[in-house]
Amino acid sequence: MPALHYQQQTLYLDDVALPSIAHQFTTPCFVYSKRTLLQAWQAYRDAFAGQDALICYAMKANSNLSLLKLLVDAGAGMDIVSGGELERALLAGCPPERIVFSGVGKTVTEMHRALEVGIHCFNVESSAELDRLSAVATRMGKTAAVSLRINPDVDAGTHPYISTGLKGNKFGIAHAEALATYRKAASLPGLQVVGIDCHIGSQLTELSPFIDALDRLLSLVDQLAAEGIVLQHVDMGGGIGICYDAETPPPVRDYAQAIAERLAGRGLKLVLEPGRAIVGNAGVLLTRVEFLKQGETKNFAIVDAAMNDLIRPALYEGWHQVLPVEQQEGLPERVYDVVGPVCESADFLAQDRTLAIRAGDLLAIGSAGAYGMAMSSNYNSRVRAAEILVDGDRVQLIRQRETLAQMLACEQACLPEAG
């Protein structure tokens, strides 16, 4: 993470010393760099500046309203996958015409609301969804712009849980069924077929899977045009990775150039939906060491953050950098598993890390801006963490730490009445 750096043995995020944040807001907490977030967005904006492109941030990566507003104000659209994300996008000020609705299970209520506000496009993922959307739009007297998500059966070479473009994945319409499904979409009332869409996976570090998928989509575009179904845009989703450890994801400008070469002269608008690439390296999870424990075969640094705060290591075998917030001279280095207090053996944030630390020390878990807070939970009845935004040398609380009362507020306990 480029925003992290040491000054006189103290770790800073941009111009703010992380111990000061822990002192003011306690731990665990997520801390984000405004500068890094906007630089990542600007890299996409600048790389595609010469193309007719709508770049929609995939807000499933991190949907904090303050971060969304920063991106919307910078010109980003929003890629949503639920009615709740739609409302967040609108609250952040995103114009509906810059919103695309992805996801395999859109409800009638979600479709109705999206049509009501006038979103840019629905990315449809099944024939059954076409039927439902047609019925909802017809009842409302609306026309829904649709793009069909095609599963190109391209191996993205990533973790199976974040691979989305193979035959066995739940996403999209099989390539072999694409033409028939487009014919159906073009025949249904209340629908306007405008695009073709794919998303082959996440955390990709090579361009070739993207280009293979695009070539397969463009072949379908040509076949559809021959049948009189002329599309307006091609949607390549997201998926470019970030550097957690030693990965070398392709520069965005190389991706943009490769796409431009294939779209040249076609008159097709481009839609993109990056998420992790925008916010992943903008955030850290700040946590404090509660105990150091020596086991028979391993040493454990038991911290106050847990898998309910950052589930990627347990769920995806995700690797995150671990840095002591204050470097200590004279402490012995030992190899630790950094683990939380949740009652699961999978509750680890990092394994086999060489650290010189003591109980009470602060640790920064790097690259935690994406799929950290967004996937957090109340498992073990743990309250969710606070979120803080760093803007140069200024600090702003953008999500209060959840309280126990807030966590319990929606529950109705069946308790005997007093007396």
Task: Give the closest residue to 22 by CA, choosing from 304, 292, 351.
Answer: 304
273 annotated to a ligand binding site:
yes
Tokens read off for 248: 């070398």
- Say if strands 173-174 and 348-355 run parallel, antiparallel, or are unpaired: unpaired
For residue 98, say whether it is annotated as part of any ligand binding site: no
**Cβ contacts of residue 311 below 8 Å, gap of 6+?**
371, 375, 376, 377
316 assigned to a ligand binding site: yes
Gap between the Cα atoms of 290 and 216, Å rounded: 52
Structure token digits, residue 335: 């190899």
Annotated binding residue at 419?
Answer: no
d(CA 307, CA 291): 17
List phi, psi (to 5°) of 406: -65, -40
Is 410 designated active site?
A: no
Query: According to the annotation, is 332 in a ligand binding site?
Result: no
Which sign, positive or negative, has the C-alpha torsion 171, 175, 181, 182?
positive
Q: Which uninterrupted H or E stretch holds 21? A: helix 18-25
Whether 266 has a binding-site annotation, put simply, is: no
User: 88 labelled as ligand-binding?
Assistant: no
Cβ atoms 181, 173 nearer than 8 A? yes
Is 6 flagged in the annotation as binding? Answer: no
Does 239 show up as a binding residue in the annotation? yes
CA 122 centroid distance within chain: 19
Catalytic hit among 29, 94, 198, 343 = 343
Q: Which residues are annotated as a binding site?
A: 239, 273-276, 312, 316, 344, 371
Q: Which residues are annotated as a binding site for pyridoxal 5'-phosphate?
A: 239, 273-276, 371
Query: Which residues are annotated as catalytic?
Result: 343
Q: Which residues are annotated as a binding site for substrate?
A: 276, 312, 316, 344, 371
